[in-house]
Structure 1
Amino acid sequence: MPEPLLVVGVLVAVFVGYNIGGSSTGVAFGPAVGSKVVTKAGAAGLMSVFALLGGWTVGRNVIQTMGGDIVPSEQFTLATSVGVLFFVGVALLVSNRYGVPASTSMTAVGSIAGLGVATGTLQMASMGRIVSAWVVAPVIAFWLCAVVGRYAYPYLDAAFRLDAAENGLFTWSEGGRVAHPTGVNDDATTRQFVASALVVAIGCYMAFSAGASNTANAVAPLVGGGYLGSDVGVLIAGGAIALGAFTIARRTLDTVGNDLTDLPLLAALIVEVVSATLITVLSVMGIPASLAVSATMCIVGLGWGRATRTVRANDALSGEGEAPVSVGSLTAERAETPSDVPGIGEEDPEDLAAADLFDPATVGRVVILWVLTPSIAAAASYVLFSLLPS
């Protein structure tokens, strides 16, 4: 019979995974559900499969880092494992209850770091590598998307003209327990089918990256301490993520749950591809990181880059031009063909000064919380584990 504390640890791990599934499903499949390409149940099913795939493959590297590289694995007794998972669970609970954008990965690392400081076992080299990645990755996300926004976005928008079908691609059954398509919407075009396929494919990619990065947040302490095998830990986390995807994710999918869905479809796809790729690369390196942080910086970078097309680089350097920085510039009217796109410095600033897609004050609050949440977790963890007997 398993120890009662181990049962508690597994239940807390399931709670963490459950909340990860609830929040990440909206990020990955909000655009697909919002454009009526897949149902909420379909999104949950895809999330379950691809998050498990990400955890089963790339996610093992992150489990290794969090379960034995930040502090030695022998530090993860049952009591400390439950304590670390408790802090992650509280951060998720606050995030879901009050809409505070807490980073699960950062909170988990902060909790483990607090344990390491309290016991004098923190591996500074590993911690420094993680923190460096937290600083560098958002900067890379911003500038990659800024370059795309300034030099490529209007041409891509004119060339591909990605639009979701207003009434969806399919007609759906009415009533019954499970909705299913009954036919094809006659108004949907081939281009819209291609756009919708891209939305679903990239949603699956984001689900994969979310599973790769977040599986460790649920089970790394228990796996690192040897209380769960790696395979069992990944399956437990994957099952918990699936449970969250099929239940509480419905609420986030109702409001689509993230700023991506306020963007034009092409912009959302660019943001998703860049942010998911960054997180996947970091996960391959064994570094836990926040998908929400990368995605938000991609949104800001893409909008800023698009808005700066009103000013040539040499004019900006000489102080003769001033570029608006409205992210709403992404909603500016597109050119009919790539050849019709005005050159840099030729666009009217008023055409790009559309309403902002989010409040800059809110973005500032989010950035502060990205720093504050893991710091508070580390401090609280230090206090707790300093009081526990060695």
Structure 2
Amino acid sequence: MKRKIFITVIIVFIVVVFSFNVLKAKNTEDVTVEVIYGEEEEVKETLSIPGVLELKNEEKIYSETEKGTVKEVFVKAGEKVKQGDPVLEYEDQNLSKERRQHNLSLQSVELSLESLYKQKHSLQDQIHKAKEDKEVVTQLTTELDQVEFELHNAQIEKDKIMLELETLNTKEEELEVTSPIDGTVLTVNLKGSQDMNEPMVTIANLSQYSASGVVGEDETVHIKENDEAVIQADVIDDKKWAGEVKSIGYTPVNSDAVEVQDDRASKQYAVDIEFTEDEQEQYEQLKPGFKLLIDIILEKRRGLTIPRESVVCEGQSHTVFVVEDGKAVSKEVEYGVRLGEKVEVISGLTGEDAVVRNPEHVKEGMEVEVSND
């Protein structure tokens, strides 16, 4: 019995010693790692906001009931127009009546003028023939003075009618509505002639777009006009457009419609972005209303970047391993901007540090061998 116990103890001892030696060998075995060096490159600090695509130059023509009723529409949806081209024409029955009245008045005063001129010439001839008879000349001269007075009044009446006709011509010219811009007719809706809130005709320049979005009050202090922006459409994956901040709202959006219950609640402000690319073909795929992602570039600078896989994240702590004298040494670093598969390192690292690319199995103080690949 004692012999069996003794043999068992010896076997256990051998197993423990063997295991210890194996573990020791593993712990002293070098781990091969790949190292990289931080690269200095341009870093863009951005603010990403959702947005909506809008037409930059869109004009809506609404009904003007004071001009009368719509007589004719000269355009149709999809048609291209130039600034000043006729779009529609009104008809005003009152103006038509006024013109007939003024024309009749003009005819009447012109007949009066013609008759008075004839009388004037006749009296002048009679005075010339009766120049030896002073009494007759005096009487004829008095009649001539009266005719000239009437002529003067008739001419004033004609001038007045002509001015009224000029005013009438201006009013009639205003009955024709022209396009305020070069563009394409988007909609023609004659129902808008009865509804003041609905445009009758909408015209827009389809080669000029803008983007609109909103930002929180804490973000407005970081944005300024003319900041560069990069615009992407949700439905077009492989295309980006250049733009710049055109304006930032001074008052919160929907401020009148929102009842403020918490003074600490963040307000939102409108931001308008203008596209800066001139080539019309750049916008062929775009349509008003598209949802957008807008990256506003707040700052450009040179920064040190490393692969994201090189960083070990534990809570709020960010650590990398560098190789110093054949051993892995951990260094805490401060993050900056995230750049896809890279991150900017603000502090804790230099471009001369040999950073372990993938520190998954690396421990502090571990002896490591740098790969030559």
Length-normalised TM-score, structure 2: 0.18
Q: Which has the higher strand share?
A: 2
The structure where helix makes up a greater share of residues is 1
Identify the structure with bigger relative contact order (alpha carbons < 8 Å, sequence gap 6+): 1
- Greater Rg by CA: 2
